[in-house]
Structure 1
C-alpha cells in the first residue's frame, strides 16, 4: 500500500499546502479538484480584499517548494484581494505541483476497498478507494491516506432561522444570493441598484456587503438597505474600531457603523426568518417566527455562514461533534460560544483524527459549522498530518505555529489597505469559506 498516493481533496489554499507538505515528507500526493483551476472558491470572491497580509497567506512548505521555480514572493506587509491570492500564489503553486493536481475531477465517495462502514475485519489493512467523476465517466482511485480539504464554500447556510431553508426560500432562489455581491460588475450592480436589498447576517461577510451596498445607495437613488439580524441588538457586531488590534478589521467595522449612523441602512434586530412570501410583482416579504414582516424586498443577500458537506463520506467511520460537526477532539477548542479567532489554540493530527485510520478533515471543513477558522492554523494542520503519516509523531504533536493574542485568521472584507500594515487577519465568519475555500 506504500506505493499508493495520498489523496488530497480540494485544490484550495489548505489542500495545496497539504500537497507541498507531503512532497517534503517523501509522499506522492494526488490533489483532486472539482473546479477548473486552483482556488475555484476564491475565484468567486476575487473582488474582496483579505484581512490577512501576504506574510500570513503563504504556507511554509509551499513557499519552500516555490523558491526553486523563479516565483517572486509578494510583499509580506500588503493585503491581497482574492484575485491576487489566486494569481500570485495558488496558480504558481499548482503549476509547481504539476500533474499531482487534477482539475475537473469531482469526488463523489470515499470508502475502504471491499468494505462498507459496518465491516471490521481487515479494515485498517485495506487502502481507501476514492470514487471520482470526470468528463462524464467514473473511476476509483486507490489511496494510502485521504485528506479532505474541500472546504465548505459550496454549502452556505440558508436564510431560515432554524438551520433549514425558510418556507418559500427555495422558490425565491432567483432573488437570493449567498455570496458578497461584486458591485464592480455592471450586471450585478444593475441588479441591486434602485431596489430594496435585505442583508441577513452579523459576520464580516455581512459587514462587507453592507459597506459595498451603502456606497451603491449613495450613487443610485432609490436603493434601500435593510440589515436583518437574528440577535436582539447590534451589540459588538462592528468590532473594536480604532482599538482593534487588526487595523483592517477595525476599518471595516467603522465603515459599516458609519453607514448605519448615516441612515443608509435600516437595522432590524431579533428577526429569525421563517417564511418568504412573493407578491404579483415578484417582490418578497420576509416573515419572522414572531410575525415581523420586512416588505417589498427586491433582493436578499444571505451571509450566515457555511456548513460541511458530509454526504459523500457516509461509508467512513467519522467521529464528529453533534453540534459543530467537527472532530470531537477539536470541537471544544473552536466552539464559537466560547472562542473567538484569537483564542483558538493551534492543533494538529491528534485533534483531527477519526476512527477511520489515515483519514483527516483539514481546513475549513474540519471546523464544521464553527465560523472562527484561522488560515495559518489550516497550514499547521496539514504540516502535522503529513508528519503523522510519515511516522514522525514528535513533529506531529509539536506546535510550530505561534500567534499573537488576536490570532492570524484567513478573513476578507471590503476595506482600504491600511497605511501601517500591522499583522493582519480576522475571524473568518461567513468568509471562512471565502477565505479558505477549495
Structure 2
C-alpha cells in the first residue's frame, strides 16, 4: 500500500469534484485490484508497440525484432533485458533530439509524438526529409560495430516521448549476451541494401530468411505480469482542544465543523491524485494510442469528435473551466451552439450528448495549454473505475476513517483522518486525452 502524507492547508474553497461524484466506485476487499488484459501486438509492420504503467513507458520485448539488425532474433530473455535497458526521455515542441554530424551514440524508439527530420542543402538551405511518428526508430546502427554519425537533424514537432538506449548501456548488455552478439554478427554478414535518400541504412529485412519475408501478423497473449492497483492513502492529523469536544454529539459543535473541513480538504486531495498521480492518475494512465493533439491549438468541435470516435459509450468529458470557455469561443466563432444537459440538478455544456464537466485539478502548463479527458466508466462497460476499501476500522465515510490518537498534557486531542483511494482503467480505449489544448485569454 502506497502512502501519501499531506496536511491540508486552510480551506480556500470547495470545488464541485465532479470526477469523484461521477466515477463508479468499486470496493476492494484486499487493498489491491488486479486488471488482466490481453497483450496485442503486430510483428512485421515496421512499427514498434509500447505499453504504459503509470507514467512509465515500456516497449514490448518481441517488438524489438522490428529493428532490422534484430530481425529473427528469438532469445526472449535477451529481448526482455534489452527492453528494460531503455531510458525514457521527454521533449517539448522545437527541442532537438540529435544533430547531423554528431556521433550516433543512442538508439531511439519513438513511443509517442511527431518528429521532423532535416538536413542542410548544398546552398545552406534547410531540407525537410519527412516526419516520423509513433512506433518509428532511429540509430539502429548503434547495434553494429561502426555506429558512425547522424546524417540528419531530428526535432520534436509536438510533445515527444522516446525510449533511448545509450551506447554505454548497450555495450554492457551486449558483453553479457552471447546470443545477441552472434545474431548481430550473422545479420551484418548478410548483403545490405544501399542507403536511401534520407541517409538511413536500409538493411535487408529479409536477411537471414529463405524465400519471401514474413508478412505482418498480429499476436494476442495474456499479459504475464497483470497490473495491480494498490490503494493510496492521504492522511492528516486533526488537533482540537478538549473544550470544543464537550458537545460532541451536537451537530454544529466545533469538532464536527473542523472534521468536516478536514474531510473536504482530503476529498480535494483525492480528486487531484486521481488525475495527477504518476502511478494511477488518469493523465498518466491514458494509453499512448488514445492521446490526440488539437488541430490548431484551441479545442474545436472536430477535436472533441476525434475523442468521441475513439471509444464507445463515452460517459463524460473532463476539462479545466478555462478549456470549457475556450471550446465555447470556438463554437461561437463557427456559429455552433452546444447542447445543455442537466446533471445532478446542474446545467452543463454538452457535446453530442456527452456532458463537459469542469475540473480545476487538470493542470495548465506555463505555455497556457491543458488536457481534456474523455472516458467511459464502470466495470460492466470495461471503463474507468474508482477504487476504495470495502471496510475500514473507525470508518466515518466510504473510504475515510477517523482514528482517535489520544490527548496530550495540554488537553489537545488528536485524530488521524485517512482517505484511501485509487483508480483503474480496465481497457485502453476507456480513456482518451486531447493534449496541447490552448486556453487563450
TM-score w.r.t. structure 2 length? 0.26
The structure number with the bigger radius of gyration is 2
Name the structure with the higher helix share.
Answer: 1
Name the structure with the higher strand share.
Answer: 2
